[in-house]
Amino acid sequence: MDRLAFPDGLVRRAEPGRGNVDEVRFYDTLLRDVDRDGKRRIPAGCSIFVRGWAFNPLPARPAEGVLGVLDDGTTFAIAYGRSRPDIALTFGVPEVDPCGFQAMYPLAGLGRGRHVLKIVTLDEAHGYYELPGLEPFEIVPSRELFHGVERCAGERMKISIDAFTALRSGAIPIGGALFVERGDVVYLRGWAIDLEARAALHGAYAIVDDDEYVLGVHGLPREDVARTMRLPDAVRCGFTLRFSTRGLRPGPHALRVAALAPDETYGIVDVGTLEVA
């Protein structure tokens, strides 16, 4: 979904909208719940999942659409129209059966600190209703994803970077530095093997300035590596990492990659420097 500004020309209705947020969850890029304690302290770079129901009042009728609005004005469309016969039965209005909504939205680029999400419904006359209540959460440094994880000893984790580039500008590293424009997406591809366990990695992170930890996708098949290393059980040792430079200040930034071993320790390798213009 695109990150948009709240639409111009909409008029807020005095009445609150009818509806409820039934579920709010927060996930990392592997769809792992990062809010297991329910405190809503969310590492930067995760996504919010929201599900519920809503309709317009006076008279009760389905909305023309549903939007999620973050406190900084960021607005995103929410899929609307799911059947909710329980709501239609409760209110005695069969017409509002298609009032269910659901969406997942990335919070990348949202600043640290407290934020709130509100849900609004659109009507047919350029107006909108706000659902009562706000959904608060706090963005904390993404390094908290690594809280309690210890580094493994020596050269136990073999980590190799096959590609290091910028997807938007097509920049390639020169002398260990990747020159990018702010907003470019950095992409890395590689593989990692725990030589002691003779097994593939269990996770991969890009680390920027030892502060921002971006979780990647791991478990990709690399038959070429498994064959060369003579470790057939480690065939799923591939990983990819991508992240936006939108939130980085201009200037140099150190970039490293960490790979988790099966016992949840990690190895780390220096990749180079991001030069952000």
The confidence score (pLDDT) of residue 254 equals 95
For the record, the structure tokens of 229 come out as 């290393």
Q: How far apart are CA 273 and CA 209, in angstroms?
A: 10
The confidence score (pLDDT) of residue 256 equals 94
Q: Does domain 4-140 have CATH number 2.60.40.650?
A: yes
The confidence score (pLDDT) of residue 244 equals 83
Closest to 145 in 3D by CA, of 191, 240, 211, 217: 211
pLDDT, tens digit (0-9, with 9 covering 90-100), for 155-189: 899 999 999 999 877 788 888 899 999 888 899 99
Kindly state the average pLDDT of the residues 229-248.
91
Where are the domains positioned within the chain? 4-140, 148-276
Exposure on the CB side of residue 168, measured as CA atoms within 13 A: 13
Reported as a pLDDT band with limits 50, 70 and 90, residue 1 is very low
Chain centroid to Cα 144, Å, comes to 15
Chain centroid to Cα 272, Å, comes to 24
Say whether pLDDT at 253 is over 60: yes
Average pLDDT, the chain: 90
In DSSP terms, which residues pair with 190 in a beta bridge?
A: 161, 239
Kindly state the average pLDDT of the residues 143-155.
77
| List of E strands, 107-237 | 113-122, 127-130, 135-140, 157-166, 177-180, 185-194, 199-200, 203-208, 212-215, 217-220
Percent of the chain's residues with pLDDT above 70: 96
Range among 82-96, 107-121, 236-250 rated most confident: 82-96
Reported as a pLDDT band with limits 50, 70 and 90, residue 125 is very high
Q: Do domains 4-140 and 148-276 have the same CATH topology?
A: yes
The confidence score (pLDDT) of residue 30 equals 63
CATH of domain 148-276: 2.60.40.10
pLDDT, tens digit (0-9, with 9 covering 90-100), for 2-57: 456 677 889 999 999 999 999 999 987 667 788 888 999 988 778 999 999 999 99
Q: Is the dihedral of CA 186, 190, 194, 200 positive or negative?
A: positive
The confidence score (pLDDT) of residue 73 equals 82
